[in-house]
Amino acid sequence: MKTKKSLFAVTKRELRRIFHNPAYRFLLLLGPIIGIGLLFFIFHKGVVKELPVAVVDRDNSTLSIKIANALDASSDADVTVQTPDIFKAREMLKQGLVEAIVVIPFETEKSVFQGIRAEIPVYINGTNVLKAGILQRSVLTTIKTISGSVQLQKLMMTGKNEEEAMARIIPVNIQRHVLFNPFTNYSYFLNSALMYVMLFLFVLLSSIYTLGNELKRGTGLDLLETSRNSVRLAIVGKLLPYTVIFSVFALSINILLYKIEGMPLNGNYLIIFGAQFVTILTYQLMALIFVGTTINLRLALSIASAYSMMGITFSGLTFPLEAMPKFAQIFASLFPFTWWQKLFISQSLRGAPLKEALPYICYILVFLLVSLCFMPFYKHYLENPKYWGKS
Amino acid sequence: MKTIQNKINGFQLTAIHFSKELKTIFTDSGALLILIGAVVIYPIIYSIGYYNEVMTDTKIAVVDQDHSEASRKYTVMIDASSELEVVYKPLDLVSAENLFMVNKVSGVILIPKNFEKNVLSGKQANVAVYADASYFLKYRNTILASTYSNAYFSGGISLLHYMAEGQSFQQAKISSDPLPAYTHILYNPSSGYGSFVMPGVILVIFQQTLLIGIGLLGGSFSESKASPFILPKQKRRKEIIPYLTGKTGAYIFISLFNIAYAIILVHHWFKYPDKASIPDVLMLMFPFLLSTIFLGIGVSTLFKHRESALIFMVFLSPIALFLSGLSWPASSIPQWLVSLSKLMPSTTVIPAYLRLRTMGVSLTDIKSEMVFMYIQAVVYLILTLVYFFVRVDKKSRKA
C-alpha cells in the first residue's frame, strides 16, 4: 500500500514537472508528432514513378515514335524531352533535368527491317542507385518488348503461328512471384523503420532528460524523499507517464502503417505489440546507462543522439547486414533497434513463427538488464551534491 | 580619426570573439563531441558499413524437377551471376519453403519437369521465381539476376533455333534480338551503395552538427549563460557585427578541418566518386556553411537551455537526409514539403554537390543553387541581425 502511494506521489511530481517545462511537452508530444508526421508525408506516395527521360530521336520513323510512346507509357518513366540533339540532352542530364537518355540512331527502322544490326544506346544517370535501377529495368523491358514485337512480325511472315513465334521469342518464360510484400513498395521498408527510429529516439531522449535533470538541478534528495528512499520506485514512478504516452504513439504508428498505408500484416500482431512495448521499456531504462556513465545531462543527450542516429544505418534496413563487413555486423548488434527491426520485418511481412521472434526479444532484454545494473549508481548520484549541477 | 579608432576596435572585437568562441567549443565536452567527434566518427563508421558497396551472392535455392542437361545449365548460369548464389538444391517446393522460413535462402527458383523437352522442341518452357520482397536489395538481386540469366539462356536457345533453320550465327544473333538496347550506367557504374549515399550523408552530418553544436553552446541571450558582450551596455549596438563575425569565423575555421577530413580524406580512403576539383568544391561549400551557420546562430537564440538544441533538432537529421532527395526522389515527396524543406541548406546543396562531385559538371551548371544559398545566407543573417538589435536595444533601455 505504502509502495503504491509513494509511486503515485513520484508520478504526480513528474507530471507537475512535465506541465511546467516546454522541453518536456516537445519531447512527449510535439516532437514525435512532427517527426512521425513528416516521415508519413515524405513516403506517402510510396512508389517512385514517372522519372524524367530524354529521347534523342535521330531516326524520326514510325518505329522511333513507337519507342518514345512506349517509354512514356510505362509508369516508371516520363519522356519529358524529345530532341534530335544529343548535346542538348546531355546538358539536361548534367543539370539534373532528366535521369536517362535513350538514343534512337539514324536509320534504325530501316536497319531493323532489313535485318541489319541496330542498337539502341541508353545512358542512365547512376548517381542515385534507386532511380537508376528502376529506369534500367523499365527501359530495357520496354525496348525488349518492342524488339519482341518486331521479331513476332517477321516470324509470322515466315509462316509460323503465334504460339510457335512466341516460343521462339521467349523460349523460357519466367514467372515472378513476389513474396511477403506484394506491392514491392520500397516505402514500407523505409517508412516503418524510420517511424520507429523517431519513436525510440524520443523515448531515449525524454528519459535521459528527466533522469538527468534531477542531477542537473540537484533535486535528487527531493525525489528520493517522495519515493521513500527507493530508487526503484523513483525511476518507475518517473518513467511511467512516458511509457503510457509512447505506447499510445506506438499504437498510432501501427494504425498509420497497417490501416492507412496498407502495409501487410502477415504475422501475429500481439507479438509486434508486445515487442514494441518491451523495446520502449528498454530504451527508457537505457537512459540510466547514458546518465550513469556521463553524469552530465548535455553529454548524455549528445552521446544518446549519436547512438540513435547510428542505429538507422546499422539496422541493415537500407543496406543489408549480410553485405556488411564482419566488424560492422558485430557493431550492429549493439543497438536494440537492429533486433527490433529484424523482428518487425519478420513478423509483419514474412509472417514468421513465434519461435523466430523469441531470440530477438531476448537480445533486446539483455540491454534492459544491463541498464538495470546502473540503478545503484544513479541513486548514489542523486544523494551526493558533488554530482549535481553539471549541465 | 575617430572612425579609424572604431575600425581597429571592430577588428579587435572580432578577433576577441573569434578566439572566445573557439575556447568555449574546446572546453565543452558535449559541443566538442558533436562538432568534431561526430564529424570524425560518423563518416568512417558509416563507410565501413557500406564498405562492400554492393550486395553479392544473395542465397537462393533451386528446385530442379527436370534433372536434365538444360536445367543444370540454367542453374549454373544463375549461380554464375554475381548477385546470386545457389546454396541449396532441395527436392521439392515444400522443403524449399522451409529453407525460406528459417532464413536460409532469400529466393527460390523452380524448374519444372519437361523443361528440356520444351526448350528443345521449340515450345515455351516455364520457370518460376519466388523472391522475398521484405528486404529491398535482396529482392532486387533475386529479380534482376534471374531475369538477366533467363534472358541470356533464352537468347541462346532462340539463336540455336534460328541457326537450325539455316541462318548464320551473325544473322541468328540479329534475328533473335532485332533491336538490342545497350545500357550505360554513368557516374556510378557499379551501383555502389556507399558511393551513392555517403557524399550526401557527409553534408547532412556537417549541417546537423553545426546547427546542434551552435545551439548547444548556448543562445546568446539564454538564461543559463552570461552575456557574451564585452562593451558596456550603451555601446553594444556596435559590438553586434564584430560578435557575429567572430562567431561565424570560429565555426568556419572548425569546418575547414572537417572539410579536409570528411570531404578530402574520407573520400580518398573509401574511393568515393571525385570528379570535381577541390577549389570548386570549396566554392560550393562556402555559401552552404554560411547559411548553415547563420541559421544555427539564429535558431540558437530561441533556446532557453543549452541542451534544448539536442532536444529540438536531433530528430530532424534523418528527415533532412530524406528531404534532400538523396535516396528518396524529391519527385515522390509532396510539393509543400519540398518547398518547406528548402529552409534547410542541405536540401539545396546536396543535389548540386552530387552533380559537381559525382557527375563532374562545372560550377556554371550549379550556379542557380549557389545563388539560392547566398540569398538564403543573407536572409538568415538579416533575421539574426534584426533580432540582436532588438534585444540589445531592449536590454540597454532596461539598464
d(CA B390, CA B399): 14
| Helix A31-43 with B316-323: angle, nearest 10 deg | 20
- Whether the CB-CB separation of B193 and B54 falls below 8 Å is answered with yes
Query: Hey, what's the torsion of the CAs at B135, B136, B139, B143, to 10 degrees?
Result: 180
d(CA A278, CA A280): 5
How crowded is the C-beta side of B312, counted as CA atoms within 13 Å? 21
Q: Considering chain A, tell me which residue range(s) the CATH 3.40.1710.10 domain(s) occupy.
A: 51-169
B43-95 tens-digit pLDDT:
999 898 888 877 888 899 999 999 999 999 999 999 998 889 999 999 888 89
Q: Do B136 and A186 touch (CB under 8 A)?
A: yes
d(CA B336, CA B320): 15
Closest residue, chain B, to A216 (C-alpha): B307
Mean local confidence (pLDDT), A40-67: 87
Confidence of residue A276 (pLDDT cuts 50, 70, 90): very high
Average pLDDT of chain B is 87
The reported pLDDT for the residue numbered A390 is: 67
A287 phi and psi, to 5 degrees? Answer: -55, -35
Q: Which of B375, B216, B386 is nearest to B305 (CA)?
A: B216
The reported pLDDT for the residue numbered A105 is: 92
For the ranges A245-259, B125-139, B215-229, the maximum mean pLDDT occurs at A245-259
d(CA B316, CA A248): 22
Residues ≥6 apart with Cβ < 8 Å to A155: A164, A165, A168, A169
Chain B environment of A41 (Cβ under 8 Å): 333-334, 337
Beta bridge partners of A173: B126
Q: Distance from CA of residue A93 to its chain's centroid? A: 29
Mean local confidence (pLDDT), A84-92: 91
> Helices (DSSP H) in B165-277: which residue ranges?
169-176, 193-216, 236-258, 266-269
Question: What residue segments make up the domains of chain B, in order of their start?
Answer: 2-51+190-398, 58-176
Instruction: Say yes or no to pLDDT of B166 above 90.
Output: no
Instruction: Say yes or no to pLDDT of A391 above 70.
Output: no
More confident residue, B237 or B177: B177
**Proportion of chain B in helix, strand, coil states, percent, rounded to 5:** 70, 10, 25
CATH class of the domain at A51-169: alpha beta
- Whether the CB-CB separation of A64 and A111 falls below 8 Å is answered with no
- Whether the CB-CB separation of A170 and A149 falls below 8 Å is answered with no
Q: Do A174 and B125 touch (CB under 8 A)?
A: no
Closest residue, chain A, to B319 (C-alpha): A39
Instruction: Say yes or no to pLDDT of B232 above 80.
Output: no
Least-confidence region, from A6-10, A342-346, B145-149, B220-224: B220-224
B58-176: CATH topology is abc type-2 transporter like fold (3.40.1710)
In a 3-state reduction of DSSP, which class is residue A195? helix
Confidence of residue A5 (pLDDT cuts 50, 70, 90): confident
Q: Which of A295, A26, A36 is nearest to B30 (CA)?
A: A295
Residue A319 amino acid letter: F
More confident residue, B319 or B219: B319
Residue A255 amino acid letter: I
Percent of chain A's residues with pLDDT above 90: 45
The reported pLDDT for the residue numbered B381 is: 95
For the ranges A111-120, A143-152, A370-379, B182-191, the maximum mean pLDDT occurs at A370-379
Per DSSP bridges, beta strands B125-132 and B107-111 are antiparallel
The reported pLDDT for the residue numbered B2 is: 43
A308-323 tens-digit pLDDT:
999 888 887 778 888 8
The reported pLDDT for the residue numbered A372 is: 95
Instruction: Say yes or no to pLDDT of A38 above 90.
Output: yes
Tell which of A117, A179, A183 to mutate to test the B interface (max B CBs under 10 Å): A179
Chain B environment of A306 (Cβ under 8 Å): 33-34, 37-38, 41-42
| Helix A354-372 with A269-294: angle, nearest 10 deg | 20
In a 3-state reduction of DSSP, which class is residue A102? strand
The b/e string for A302-341 (b: 16+ C-beta within 10 A; e otherwise) is bbbbbbbbbbbbbbbbbbbbbbbeeebbebbeebbbbbbb
Chain B environment of A173 (Cβ under 8 Å): 124-127
d(CA A85, CA A161): 41
Helix (H), strand (E) at residue A208: helix A186-216
Determine the distance in angstroms separating the CA of A204 from the nearest CA of chain B, rounded to an integer.
Answer: 11
Chain B environment of A94 (Cβ under 8 Å): 355, 359, 361, 365
In a 3-state reduction of DSSP, which class is residue B155? helix
Mean local confidence (pLDDT), A231-241: 92
Mean local confidence (pLDDT), B256-280: 91
- Whether the CB-CB separation of B218 and B306 falls below 8 Å is answered with yes
Check CB contact of A120 with chain B, cutoff 8 Å. Answer: yes
A113-144 tens-digit pLDDT:
888 888 999 999 988 888 888 888 889 989 99
3-state SS track over A119-168:
CEEEEEECCCHHHHHHHHHHHHHHHHHHHHHHHHHHHHHCCCCHHHHHHH
Residue B159 amino acid letter: L
Confidence of residue A23 (pLDDT cuts 50, 70, 90): confident
For CA atoms A298, A302, A304, A305, the dihedral sign is: positive
The reported pLDDT for the residue numbered B3 is: 46
Closest residue, chain B, to A205 (C-alpha): B311
Confidence of residue B1 (pLDDT cuts 50, 70, 90): very low
Q: Which of A209, A344, A218 is nearest to B308 (CA)?
A: A209
Instruction: Say yes or no to pLDDT of B4 above 50.
Output: no
Q: Is the pTM of this model over 0.80?
A: yes
Cell, residue A191: 517508412
In chain A, count H helices and then E strands: 17, 5
Neighbours of A200 (CB within 10 A): 25
The reported pLDDT for the residue numbered A137 is: 86
A148-197 tens-digit pLDDT:
888 898 888 888 888 888 888 888 888 888 877 666 666 777 888 899 99
Please name the residue that has the C-alpha cell 524529345. Answer: A82
Confidence of residue A287 (pLDDT cuts 50, 70, 90): very high
Q: Do B329 and A48 touch (CB under 8 A)?
A: yes
Mean local confidence (pLDDT), B138-149: 87
Chain A environment of B191 (Cβ under 8 Å): 126, 129, 132-133
Chain A environment of B33 (Cβ under 8 Å): 299, 302-303, 306
For CA atoms B392, B395, B397, B399, the dihedral sign is: negative
Q: Do A324 and B51 touch (CB under 8 A)?
A: yes
What is chain B's alpha carbon radius of gyration, rounded to the nearest angstrom?
30
The answer to whether ipTM exceeds 0.90 is: no
Q: Hey, which residues 246-275 in chain A have their CB within 8 Å of chain B? A: none
Mean local confidence (pLDDT), A367-376: 95
d(CA B351, CA A277): 39
Confidence of residue B262 (pLDDT cuts 50, 70, 90): very high
The reported pLDDT for the residue numbered B396 is: 64
Among left, alpha and beta (phi > 0; psi -120 to 50; other), residue B103 is left
- Whether the CB-CB separation of B52 and A323 falls below 8 Å is answered with yes
The reported pLDDT for the residue numbered A361 is: 95
B277-324 tens-digit pLDDT:
899 999 999 999 999 999 999 998 888 788 888 888 999 999 999 898
Instruction: Say yes or no to pLDDT of A1 above 80.
Output: no
Average pLDDT of chain A is 89
